[in-house]
Structure 1
Amino acid sequence: MSNSIPKIVVVGGGAGGLELVTKLGKKLGKKGKAEITLVDNTHTHIWKPLLHEVAAGTLDSHEDEIEYLSQANASGFRFRLGKMDGLDRNRKTISLAPTLNPDGVEIIPRREFEYDYLVISVGSVSHDFGIKGVRDHCLFLDTTKQAESFQNKLLEAYLRAHTQGKPLDEGQLNIAIVGAGATGIELSAQLHEVSHLLTAYGLDEVQPQDVKISIIEAANRVLPGLPENLSEATTSELTKLGVDVLTGERVVEVNDKAIFTESGKTIPASIKVWAAGIKAPEFLKDIAGLETNWMNQLVVRQTLQTTLDDDIYAIGDCCACKWQGHDENVPPRAQAAHQMASVVYKSIRNRMAGKVAPEFEYHDYGSLVSLGKYSTVGNLMGNLSKGSLMIEGFMARLMYLSLYKMHQVALFGPFRVAMLSLSHIFRRSVHPKIKLH
C-alpha cells in the first residue's frame, strides 16, 4: 500500500456499489482518510428491481434516477465515467475503455486508475445460453437504456395497431416473456395494467383482450428458486389476469415472428423479452488470472475477497460466494448486494486499522413479487417470522415498497427520503399513470 492515503476504487454503481461508495465517502472521503472513486459506464443509477416498471412505462426513469456526479458531490467520493476492460494486479491499476458519444466520436480517452483496495460490483447481464435467434430477436432488461427501448417499441406497436385501420394480424400485439423469475413475472403484470391504461388514455382501437401476454419457463413451475406455495399463489394471480403461463417448456429457437420450444410448441409474438438467466459481464472471465466460474462470476472467500488477491473484493451478482449452511451460492438479489456492501465497508475499515476482515454471512429475509396494483405475494424468512411465512395483499405490498425505501435511506438518509416520498405522491397526482412518449 502506498504511503499516501489509501485509494479505494469501486467499479459498478448498482445497488451494492453505490451504497458502498456513499458510506465510504461520508465516513472516509469527507474526512480525508481515503480517496474514494466510483467508476461506471453510465451517468445515472436506478434501482435494478424497478427496470420492469420502466419497460412497461409505469415508471419514468428520469424521475427516479440518481445522478452519480451529484451523489458524489454530496457524499465525499469521486465519480469517473467509463467501462472497465482490464486489470493489472501487479501494478494495482484498472483500465477503462475509451468513451464514445452516440456518433462514435471519442470524448474520453483510455485511462488507468490506481487502487489500494478494489471492489468489483458490476452486476449481471442476461444469459442467452447460445440459443439460436435470442440475441437478434429478443429484448433484454439489463440496463435503463434497454428498458426504455422496450417501452418505445411497445408504444410504437400500440400506435401502429391503433391507426392501421384494419384488423390486427396474428400475434401483432402478442408479448412473450421467456423466464418466470421475478423480472418476468413482474413485467407481465405491469404489461397487463398498461394494456388497460393505454385504452383509457385514448388508444381505444386496441382493446386489452387484443394483447396476449405469455410467460415461458423451462422449469415445471414459475419462480422455481422460491418456495412452492409462493409459485402456486403467483400462478393463480397470473391466471386471473389472463396471462398464459407455459411451464416445462425449454426454448430452442427464436425468430422475428415466434418462439419455438423443445416440445414442439410455437408461440407467436411481435415483442419477445429474454429474462431466463444471468451471468457476470464477459470481461470478467479469467480477468488477470483471478478465479471465475462458468457464469463469469469472480469466486470469493467468505470475506468477499477474491480467492487469489486479498486487495480485490467482489460483491453482488458478479461474485460467487458460498451460502453458509447451504449447497449453493448466495442468490443474486438486491438484499444480498446490500448486505455485502455493509461487510466490505467494515472490512476495508478494519484492514486500514490493522484488524481482521470480517466474514460475510447471508441472511435471507424472504422474497416478494409485485403483480402491480393487482397483488403482491411473498414469503418472510428468518427471525422475522420464525421460519417461513407466506404473505399476500396489502402487507406484502407495503414490505415490497419498503425495500426500495431502505435503499434510498442508505443513499440519502431518512429525512431526504421522507421529502422524496412526499414529492412523489404529489407528482403522481398530476402526471399520467403511464409514460406516453
Structure 2
Amino acid sequence: MSLPTIVIVGGGAGGLALATQLGRKLGKPGRANVVLLDRNTTHVWKPLLHELATGVLNSSMDEVDYRGHSSAHHYRYQRGSLSGIDRQARQLHLAPVVDEQGEEVLPARQLGYDYLVMALGSVSNDFGTPGVAEHCHFIDSPQQAKAFQRDMINTFLRYTDPTLRQHPQLTIGIVGGGATGVELAAELFDASRMLNAYGVTATDHQQISVHLLEAAPLLLPGLSERISQTVQQELESMGVTIHVGTAVKEAQANCLVTGDGDVIETDLNVWAAGIKAPPFLAEQGLSTNNKNQLKVAKTLQSVDDPAIFALGDCADCPQGDDSAVPPRAQAAHQQAKLLAKNLVNQLEGKPLHEFHYRDHGSLVSLARYDAVGSLMRSSASRGLFLEGWLARRAYASLYRMHQLSIHGAPKTGLAWLVDKLNRYLKPRMKLH
C-alpha cells in the first residue's frame, strides 16, 4: 500500500514551517510523503524583504536553500509553478520551468496528492490603479526586492550628475502606509547614509526626499492609534513627508497623481498598498473572496473540498465575529502549527481542531534607529507598549523565532553567532 502524499504549495513562512513539522512527524517515520512545491529555489522571510530591497540584508547569508533544507528535514522539494488543479483525479498541473533566457529547464508535468495545502502567500493589490504596474516597484518577492535595490543604486548614481538630475532632491514615492511602506521609508535614509559612507554614491541623506502616502486617516491602520502616531512622529523626524487620507489615482514615470489632483514628482516609485492572494486561486473552481483568498472553515479546510487546506495570506479564515484572521506572519506560523496536528489527525482518523488566532502584538522596525509596537495583546488588554532599544530587541527576536521553527535551536544559535561575527567582518549592507 502506497504512502499518502501531502503537497504544500508555497515555501513562505507558513509553508516552510509546515513542511518542516510534517517532515519530522510523518516523513521521518515513513508515515507519509511530504512534498513542498515552490517556483523559487530558496526562501527569504518576507518581513525582511524591505531590508533586502535597500541592501541592508544580504540574501546569500539569510536565504534557505529548499533542497538542502528538505534533505535535513525529511520532506521532498519540487521546483515548479502550479498551473491547475484536477480535484477529481487529485493531481496538480505544473507549468514548465524556464531559465533567464527562456530555455526550458523542466517540462510541464503532473504531481499527485492525497491532501493539498495552499500556502501561496499574497501579492500587492494595485486596485486597478492606472500606471502602477508600469511605473512602480513591488516588493513581494526576493526578485522584486533585488530589482528595486539595483534601480535605487542607479537612481542615486544618476543624481550625482547634474546633467542627469531631474529634480532638486532625489525623491522616492511610497504608496501604502502599512508595515512594508513604513519600514522601507526608514530603511531608505539608512541606506543612503551607508552608500555615501562606502563611497558608492556622493548622494547624502539630506539630498533625499521620501513621500509616504496612505489612503486611511492614519499610518498602520491595522494597529493602535498610539503606535501609529509614534511611528509618524519618528518618520517625520527623519525627514519623511507623510500624506495620510491621500489616495493615489495614477502613477506615471516620474510622478504620482493623488485623488485630489495633486502631483508629486518622483524619481522612484514603490507600491505597497494593500494585498491580495494570487489571481490564479480564483480560477480553480474553489470559493474565494474579493481578494482571491480561499474560503476555509476553522479547521483550515476549503469549504468546497475537505482534501484541500489553506493557510497564511491566501486563506480567508473566519474568526467568529464576522471578521477574518489578519494576513500577518504570526498568523501563518500559528496556522502551520495547528495544520501539522490536523493533518496527522486526518491520517489517523481523528477529529480536526479549529483554529483560534492569538494576537501576540505588533512591532514595526524603523531601520537601526528605532522600533515601535506592542506585545502580549489579548481580548482584554491592549498589550505592553514598546519603543527604542527594547522594541528593537523584541523585533529581532521575531526572526529568530522563525529560524527556530524551520532550523531548530542548535542551528539557530549558530546562525545568531555568524550574524554577530559578520557585523565585524563584512560591510553593513550589500553594495552590488
How high is the TM-score relative to the length of structure 1? Answer: 0.96
Q: State whether residues 291 and 298 of structure 1, in contact with CA within 8 Å, keep that contact through their aligned partners in structure 2.
A: yes
Aligned in 2, Cα 1:298/1:375: closer, same or farther, shift over 3 Å?
Answer: same
Q: State whether residues 169 and 209 of structure 2, in contact with CA within 8 Å, keep that contact through their aligned partners in structure 1.
A: no
Q: How does 1:116-265 map to 2 (within 5 A)?
A: 116-162=114-160, 164=161, 168-170=165-167, 173-203=170-200, 205-265=202-262
1:266 maps to: 263
Q: State whether residues 304 and 313 of structure 1, in contact with CA within 8 Å, keep that contact through their aligned partners in structure 2.
A: yes
List gaps (5 residues or longer) in structure 1.
none
Which letter does structure 2 place at the counterpart of 1:26? R
Q: How does 1:5-84 map to 2 (within 5 A)?
A: 5-84=3-82
| Alignment equivalent of 1:314, drawn from 310, 316, 322 | 310
Q: Distance in 2 between matches of 1:337 and 1:296?
A: 17
Indicate the percent of aligned positions where both proteins have the same amino acid: 45
Q: Distance in 1 between matches of 2:120 and 2:90?
A: 18
1:333 maps to: 328
Q: Distance in 1 between matches of 2:263 and 2:70?
A: 49
How far did 1:102 drift? Answer: 1.0
Which letter does structure 2 place at the counterpart of 1:322? P
Which letter does structure 2 place at the counterpart of 1:290? L
Q: RMSD of the TM alignment (CA)?
A: 1.4
| Alignment equivalent of 1:389, drawn from 384, 388, 395 | 384
Q: State whether residues 15 and 119 of structure 2, in contact with CA within 8 Å, keep that contact through their aligned partners in structure 1.
A: yes
List gaps (5 residues or longer) in structure 2.
none
How far did 1:108 drift? Answer: 0.5
Which letter does structure 1 place at the counterpart of 2:234? E
Q: Distance in 2 between matches of 1:271 and 1:293?
A: 33
Q: State whether residues 172 and 269 of structure 1, in contact with CA within 8 Å, keep that contact through their aligned partners in structure 2.
A: no
Q: State whether residues 11 and 38 of structure 1, in contact with CA within 8 Å, keep that contact through their aligned partners in structure 2.
A: yes
Q: State whether residues 15 and 407 of structure 1, in contact with CA within 8 Å, keep that contact through their aligned partners in structure 2.
A: yes
| Alignment equivalent of 1:411, drawn from 387, 406, 411 | 406
How far did 1:286 drift? Answer: 3.9
2:345 maps to: 350
Aligned in 2, Cα 1:285/1:211: closer, same or farther, shift over 3 Å?
Answer: same
How far did 1:104 drift? Answer: 1.0
Q: State whether residues 358 and 378 of structure 2, in contact with CA within 8 Å, keep that contact through their aligned partners in structure 1.
A: no
How far did 1:207 drift? Answer: 2.1
Which letter does structure 2 place at the counterpart of 1:346? K
Q: State whether residues 293 and 299 of structure 1, in contact with CA within 8 Å, keep that contact through their aligned partners in structure 2.
A: yes
Q: Distance in 1 between matches of 2:312 and 2:231?
A: 26
How far did 1:172 drift? Answer: 6.2
Q: Distance in 2 between matches of 1:295 and 1:384?
A: 27
What whole-Å deviation, never above 9, does each CA across 1:207-255 have from its counterpart, x for those lacking one? 2111101100111110011111110000010011000001111100111
| Alignment equivalent of 1:377, drawn from 368, 372, 390 | 372
Q: Distance in 2 between matches of 1:42 and 1:286?
A: 22
How far did 1:383 drift? Answer: 5.4
Segment of structure 1 superposing worse, 337-346 or 376-385: 376-385
Q: Distance in 2 between matches of 1:173 and 1:97?
A: 41
Aligned in 2, Cα 1:101/1:167: closer, same or farther, shift over 3 Å?
Answer: closer
How far did 1:264 drift? Answer: 1.9
Which letter does structure 2 place at the counterpart of 1:257? N
How high is the TM-score relative to the length of structure 2? Answer: 0.97
What whole-Å deviation, never above 9, does each CA across 1:27-65 have from its counterpart, x for those lacking one? 211111100100000000000000000001111111100
How far did 1:205 drift? Answer: 3.1
